[in-house]
Structure 1
Amino acid sequence: MTLAILDLGAHQPGELVSIRDAEAHAGVSRGVARGQLAGLTQLVRRRFKRQDWPFEVRWAAGGEKIAYYVVSDTVAKLWRAVRA
């Protein structure tokens, strides 16, 4: 799920990526997506001693009452370099 959000967001930095689009890209159900994002939270807390993900979360930003994610230009550039 994290890879899907970063992959989609890296191609459109600063734009909204819906959780539904990320689920479809990752080929996972809502429950699996929720579990994977919970795992991301635990990883970020334990390994990096941080609270924030590498992308911004916005609730209902696209009109529907779901999570939307925004990848910054900086993270997008780094992610594209890593994935190249």
Structure 2
Amino acid sequence: MKFKLISVGAAVLVLGGCASLMKETVSKRAPFDLNCDAGSITIQQLGYRTYGVSGCDKRATYVLQGPCSGPGSQCLAVMNSNVDEG
């Protein structure tokens, strides 16, 4: 029972760190695509590896591709929509 709790705890930490890295990846890419200051951008997780970004009266959706964990990960944020202005 103790081992199971430790395993679940470790999985939560890994997934939490992974989610943080994924959001960070989007936050580095979105300001360029939206032509908007990073401090003005809001990021919302829409699903697994899918994020909605809004800022400067623009919105876009990003999907993460590639591994987002481990040393030397090649996680990429790829815009999966047109930039919605308005």
Between Structure 1 and Structure 2, the one with more strand by share is 2
Larger radius of gyration: 2
Q: Same fold per TM (> 0.5)? A: no
